[in-house]
Amino acid sequence: MTGQAIFLGRQPILDRNERLVAYELLFRHGRSGPARIADDGTATATVIANAFLSLGLDNVLGPHLGFLNVDGETLFSRTMEMLPPERIVIELLETVTIDDRVVERCSELRKAGFTIALDDVAALDSAHEALLPSIDIVKLDILEVGDGLGDLVERLRPYPLRLLAEKVEDREQVERCRDLGMNLFQGYFFACPTVLEGRVAEPSRLNLVRLVGKLTRDIDVDEIEAVFKHDPALTHSLLRLVNSVALGLRNRISSVRQAIMVLGRRQLQRWVQLLLFVGSDNSQVNNSPLLAMAATRGRLLELLVEERCKYVKGLDKAIADQAFLVGMLSLLDVVLARPLTELLEELNLAPAIYAALLRRAGVLGGLLALIEEVERNDHTAIVGRLGVEQWLTPERLLRMQVEAARWASQLGEDLAA
């Protein structure tokens, strides 16, 4: 499984000292060529999904802000409530019809901590002037404004705004805009938009639909967790999402359940709906032997840890929660066709999980190595491992293998029902 190619454009935004302070995030179909946007709402949703779930916000923005183009429909949607206001600037597209509702909505979002920008302003009318008290940044299209730029800046000067000069193409324009007191700059003179590319294995559309159903019915977290346990791509998206939006976590994530609890049902439901909205059909995922193998690994490692807890004193039973995650993520590099070290850098996981996955170290790492030896039918290595893990007999190992395989098979049937 090579995964689906995804693309995200970004263009730098600089301050008066020409230091990078932000990127505008842009919808892109491929590595090159103009963006063909049939629907602004779909384009925005795709940019959000690619930035937060596929590429990871830290990879896309680093320590800088991200300007996100937002159409009128998205502005009033619950999508806005999913975004971290300390990272995202909401940029109103020029297609948004400015009325009292838009003014009120912008005021609400500012009170929630968002910075609001108004895109592609070339002239002011009464609607713009009504909105300006609820705006932080005005982007001026200096090519379209032309000789009227000075007058437009003067009309904006009474408002406590930052002015961003966009479509800056030469040094003379930079100096003119700086002399007029403009604060931010964007354009081909500094940098053309670049395209970030990644490959992701899409979560199963069927799993997304089932998650939406379970979340809207307030189903027990065990049933929600079960859906993730059969879909490594979905789990990867969850972990990356928690790392992107739940900033300042004191404790590292150690299980799927913990990630669900940190994010919360309401936020999780919104993100799943977004994925469902922008994703393409991938119904073959539920029938993938690779994903079935990942689920089986997770369950077998979980069973092995639970069994070990019965015989080894002082072993924290909470490690069983980590066990499933380790087993399933151990095949993530194959599922997503990317190096595991690179993938794990994007996730805020407990140190024991990193050690197990990257070095086969610790209790989880040793038992994961045993599972891999069983999969390879490496009889010599298995015997040596059982000599170390004296609590584990061949009979117990076989019983747990059968139980894990049966569990993964039943889970697949339940999700496909």
pLDDT in tens, 6-27: 788 999 999 999 999 999 999 8
Burial class (CB in 10 A: 0-12, 13-18, 19+), 149: buried
What CATH code is carried by the domain that includes residue 273? 1.10.3210.10
d(CA 89, CA 135): 11
Same domain, 21 and 159: yes
In this prediction, residue 146 has a pLDDT band, given cuts at 50, 70 and 90, of confident
pLDDT number for residue 280:
45
**What 3-state DSSP class applies to 124?**
coil
Same domain, 221 and 177: no
Where do runs of H (alpha helix) occur along 139-231?
142-145, 149-156, 171-179, 205-216, 221-229
CA 305 to chain centre: 30
* DSSP for residue 97: P
Residue that wins the pLDDT comparison between 298 and 233: 298
68-126 pLDDT tens trace: 999 988 898 877 887 889 999 999 998 899 999 999 999 999 999 999 999 988 888 88
Same domain, 172 and 123: yes
Residue that wins the pLDDT comparison between 199 and 392: 392
Same domain, 131 and 251: no
With a cut of 60, say whether residue 260 has pLDDT above it. yes
Domain termination site, one of 198, 218, 250: 198
With a cut of 80, say whether residue 230 has pLDDT above it. no
Least confident of 194-198, 252-256, 289-293: 289-293
Return the closest-CA partner of residue 25 out of 103, 77, 76, 83: 83
Query: Alpha carbon of 114 to those of 24, 39, 137, 161, 196: distances in Å?
Result: 15, 24, 11, 14, 25
33-63 pLDDT tens trace: 555 555 677 788 888 877 877 777 888 888 8
In this prediction, residue 192 has a pLDDT band, given cuts at 50, 70 and 90, of confident
Same domain, 349 and 251: yes
d(CA 285, CA 401): 23
Where do runs of H (alpha helix) occur along 217-253?
221-229, 232-245
What CATH code is carried by the domain that includes residue 190? 3.20.20.450
Same domain, 341 and 318: yes
Same domain, 162 and 233: no
The one-letter code for the residue type at 219 is I
pLDDT number for residue 14:
94
Query: Alpha carbon of 76 to those of 92, 252, 354: distances in Å?
Result: 12, 33, 40
Q: From the CB of residue 167, how many other CB atoms can be counted at a distance below 10 Å?
A: 17
With a cut of 70, say whether residue 306 has pLDDT above it. yes
Return the closest-CA partner of residue 262 out of 237, 243, 235, 275: 243
pLDDT number for residue 95:
87
With a cut of 90, say whether residue 361 has pLDDT above it. yes
Q: What DSSP letter does each residue of 61-75 carry, written as one string? A: HTTSEEEEEE-HHHH
Segment 377-393 shows an average pLDDT of 91
- Matching residue, tokens 């002011």: 124
pTM score, whole prediction? 0.61
In this prediction, residue 298 has a pLDDT band, given cuts at 50, 70 and 90, of confident
Q: From the CB of residue 172, how many other CB atoms can be counted at a distance below 10 Å?
A: 10
With a cut of 60, say whether residue 3 has pLDDT above it. no
Return the closest-CA partner of residue 211 out of 236, 240, 234: 234
**366, 360 in Cβ contact below 8 A?**
yes
Instruction: Supply angle C-alpha 12, 18, 24, rounded to 5.
Output: 15
With a cut of 70, say whether residue 30 has pLDDT above it. no
Same domain, 220 and 252: yes
The one-letter code for the residue type at 73 is E
- In the chain, what percentage of residues exceed pLDDT 90? 36
Query: Alpha carbon of 16 to those of 19, 135, 167, 403: distances in Å?
Result: 7, 20, 15, 64
State the residue range of the domain holding 389.
201-416
Same domain, 293 and 353: yes
Where do runs of H (alpha helix) occur along 246-361?
256-263, 265-278, 289-311, 319-329, 332-336, 340-345, 351-359
Same domain, 166 and 220: no
pLDDT number for residue 203:
64
Domain termination site, one of 142, 170, 198: 198
Q: How many domains does the chain have?
A: 2
**142, 167 in Cβ contact below 8 A?**
yes
**211, 38 in Cβ contact below 8 A?**
no
Same domain, 131 and 249: no
Segment 141-164 shows an average pLDDT of 92
Same domain, 180 and 252: no
**145, 152 in Cβ contact below 8 A?**
yes
- In the chain, what percentage of residues exceed pLDDT 70? 82
Domain termination site, one of 198, 214, 236: 198
Please report how the helices 289-311 and 362-375 are oriented relative to each other, as an axis angle in degrees rounded to 10. Answer: 130
pLDDT number for residue 28:
81
